[in-house]
């Protein structure tokens, strides 16, 4: 194969250059990009393309007012856990419970040792008592007492068991009275598990413990390591999975307020699982890094979120087009959610004040648009890569 003359190669360059430039300009839309430009995002709201029905809202002072109002409305919305509320007692006896029983009699005694004391008319006015310190309720829900046999006590309160013992002793003892208390409570318990400091079983008392009482008794959410180091567990990053009679409901711990319907009165057998589910946001586009970032704080603003990822990239970002994608719950639409895009123009000084007041929410997505001016520079880079081999060949040919 003979080497190509340099004059022929020189004549080839102009026509080749025109063809390459034409092809490159025609394929400018297909140049590598980390996402759409601001213009492309805005055009996507057109009726034909916008199948999801989202809209773009510029972040202005009136928008912050609406966000505050919406947040208050969410706090006052229908409770989530309240649907599992039920009436019940937490002082009833069940299998495994240990009872302390005292029986007191007047006159002739069935239980007290040492014989009896009787007056001339056969009546002894003194009272005697017998204490049974540890009577365990059997699996079938009964206990066994001397002279009385098996007594069904499961599902009864201590006062009801007292009445049962007294009625069973009538005809066998003079004026019997019983005192019953629960020494070890096994049946009236709830279980607190998951991401808490002291998981385990909690005994219910006559104080009628509530959901938040149980979580507090378990030491609250456990500490975890985050972006800012090891921090104490927070209610904002924890979800409560509450199970009652086979039904489970989840709600973020920070949304449960003391004394509200969601702060359920606990019943025997309830299960409480605290799950660590950190709130996070995701960043795409012309940033220094694409990443998912945890809040790690009770509250986070848009300004803080953008700063955590290093802000817009000076070389490729359009600082006037910072978009935040968010879903809002809406029971009136199919799917129950409405998508909204918020736009922040960081070329305006006032936007930095607004960003400090714009609250982030879990699963928000921030997109920083690419600058339209980046496309020509990318095109030039592509052309340089295409022509570089020819220029190298020409230099080598001329040298030869």
- Angle, helices 61-75/349-357, rounded to nearest 10 degrees: 10
**Token couple for 137:** 């309720």
Q: How confident is the model at residue 114 (pLDDT cuts 50, 70, 90)?
A: very low
Q: How confident is the model at residue 400 (pLDDT cuts 50, 70, 90)?
A: low
Q: Convert the pLDDT of each residue in 308-363 to its tens digit.
A: 999 898 878 898 999 999 998 777 777 778 899 999 999 999 999 999 999 999 99
What's the pTM value of the predicted model, to 2 decimals?
A: 0.68
Q: What is the reported pLDDT for 46?
A: 77
CA angle, corner 91, sides to 85 and 96, nearest 5?
110
Q: Quickly list DSSP for 69-136.
A: HHHHHHHTSPPSGGGG-----S----TT-EEEEEEEEESS-SS-SS-----TTS----EEEEEEEEEE
Q: Convert the pLDDT of each residue in 150-168 to its tens digit.
A: 999 999 999 999 999 999 9
Q: How confident is the model at residue 391 (pLDDT cuts 50, 70, 90)?
A: low
> Is residue 9's pLDDT more than 80?
no
Q: How confident is the model at residue 202 (pLDDT cuts 50, 70, 90)?
A: very high
Task: Note whether 280 and 286 are within 8 A (CB).
Answer: no
Task: Note whether 192 and 200 are within 8 A (CB).
Answer: yes
What mean pLDDT comes out for the span 286-309? 89
* 98-184 CATH pick, 3.30.1490.20, 3.30.43.10, 3.40.630.30, 3.30.1950.10: 3.30.1950.10
H or E stretch at 388: helix 374-399
d(CA 55, CA 74): 21
Q: What is the reported pLDDT for 228?
A: 53
Residue 277, exposed/middle/buried by CB under 10 A (0-12, 13-18, 19+)? middle
Which range of 83-97, 219-233, 299-313, 375-389 scores highest in mean pLDDT? It is: 299-313
What mean pLDDT comes out for the span 389-397? 61
Give the fold, CATH level 3, of 38-77+280-371: Outer membrane lipoprotein wza fold like (3.10.560)
> Is residue 206's pLDDT more than 50?
yes
> Is residue 76's pLDDT more than 60?
no
Q: What is the reported pLDDT for 32?
A: 53
> Is residue 6's pLDDT more than 50?
no
Q: Convert the pLDDT of each residue in 11-24 to its tens digit.
A: 445 555 555 555 54
> Is residue 386's pLDDT more than 50?
yes
Q: What is the reported pLDDT for 249?
A: 94
Strand partners for 136:
98
d(CA 328, CA 340): 8
What mean pLDDT comes out for the span 45-68? 84
What mean pLDDT comes out for the span 103-117? 66
Task: Tell me which CATH homologous superfamily contains domain 81-87+189-276.
Answer: Outer membrane lipoprotein wza domain like (3.10.560.10)
Q: How confident is the model at residue 398 (pLDDT cuts 50, 70, 90)?
A: low
Q: Quickly list DSSP for 20-70.
A: HHHHHHHTGGGS--SS-BHHHHHHTTSTTT-TT--EEEE--HHHHHHHHHH
> Is residue 119's pLDDT more than 50?
no
For residue 113, which of 101, 129, 125 has the smallest C-alpha distance? 129
d(CA 54, CA 133): 70
What mean pLDDT comes out for the span 251-258? 90
Q: Quickly list DSSP for 227-269.
A: TTEEE---GGGEEEEEEETTEEEEEEGGGPPTTSTTSPBP-TT
Q: What is the reported pLDDT for 227?
A: 55
For residue 153, which of 169, 136, 170 has the smallest C-alpha distance? 136
What's the chain's Rg over C-alpha atoms?
A: 38
Q: What is the reported pLDDT for 3?
A: 44
Strands 224-226 and 337-344: unpaired
Q: What is the reported pLDDT for 7?
A: 45
> Is residue 51's pLDDT more than 90?
no
- For residues 130 and 21, the model is more confident at 130
Q: How far is Cα of residue 390 from the mean position of the Cα atoms in its chain?
A: 60
| Mean pLDDT (the chain, rounded) | 81
115: left (phi over 0), alpha (psi -120 to 50) or beta: left
> Is residue 383's pLDDT more than 60?
no
For residue 136, which of 112, 154, 148 has the smallest C-alpha distance? 154
What mean pLDDT comes out for the span 102-125? 62
- For residues 232 and 109, the model is more confident at 109
What mean pLDDT comes out for the span 81-95? 87
Specify the long-range contacts of residues 8-11, CB closer than 8 Å, at least 24 apart: 9/390, 9/393, 9/394, 9/397, 10/394
What mean pLDDT comes out for the span 277-298? 89
Contacting residues for 157 by C-beta, under 8 A, at least 6 apart: 89, 91, 92, 93
């Amino acid at each position: 194969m003979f080497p190509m003359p340099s004059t022929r190669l020189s004549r080839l360059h102009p026509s080749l250059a025109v063809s390459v430039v034409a092809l490159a300009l025609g394929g400018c839309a297909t140049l590598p990009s980390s996402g759409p430009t601001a213009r492309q995002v805005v055009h996507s709201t057109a009726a034909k393309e916008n199948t999801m029905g989202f809209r773009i809202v510029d972040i202005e002072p009136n928008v912050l007012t609406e966000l505050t109002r919406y947040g208050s409305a969410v706090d006052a919305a229908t409770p989530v856990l309240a649907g599992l509320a039920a009436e019940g007692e937490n002082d009833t006896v069940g299998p495994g419970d240990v009872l302390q029983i005292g029986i007191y009699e007047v006159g002739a005694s069935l239980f007290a040792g040492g014989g009896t004391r009787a007056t001339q008319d056969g009546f002894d006015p003194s009272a005697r008592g017998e204490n049974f310190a540890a009577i365990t309720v059997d699996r079938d829900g009964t206990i066994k007492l001397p002279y009385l046999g098996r007594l069904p006590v499961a599902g009864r309160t201590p006062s009801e068991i007292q009445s049962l013992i007294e009625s069973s002793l009538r005809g066998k003892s003079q004026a019997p009275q019983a005192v019953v208390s629960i020494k070890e409570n096994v049946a009236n318990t709830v279980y607190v598990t998951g991401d808490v400091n002291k998981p385990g079983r909690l005994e219910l008392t006559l104080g009628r413990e509530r959901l938040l009482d149980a979580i507090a008794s378990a030491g609250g959410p456990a500490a975890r390591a985050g972006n800012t180091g090891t921090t104490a567990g927070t209610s904002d990053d924890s979800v409560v999975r509450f199970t009652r009679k086979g039904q489970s409901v989840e709600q973020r711990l920070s949304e449960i307020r003391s004394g509200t319907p969601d702060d359920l009165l606990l019943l025997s057998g309830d299960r409480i699982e605290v799950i660590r589910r950190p709130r996070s946001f995701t960043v795409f586009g012309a940033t220094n890094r694409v990443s998912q970032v945890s809040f790690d704080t009770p509250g986070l603003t848009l300004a803080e979120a953008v700063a955590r990822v290093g802000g817009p990239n000076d070389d490729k970002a359009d600082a006037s087009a910072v978009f935040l994608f968010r879903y809002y719950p809406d029971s009136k639409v199919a799917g129950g959610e409405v998508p909204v895009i918020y736009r922040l123009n960081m070329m305006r000084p006032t936007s930095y004040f607004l960003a400090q007041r714009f609250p982030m929410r879990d699963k928000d997505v921030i997109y920083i648009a690419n600058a339209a001016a980046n496309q020509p520079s990318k095109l030039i880079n592509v052309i340089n890569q295409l022509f570089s081999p020819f220029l190298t060949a020409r230099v080598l040919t001329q040298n030869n």
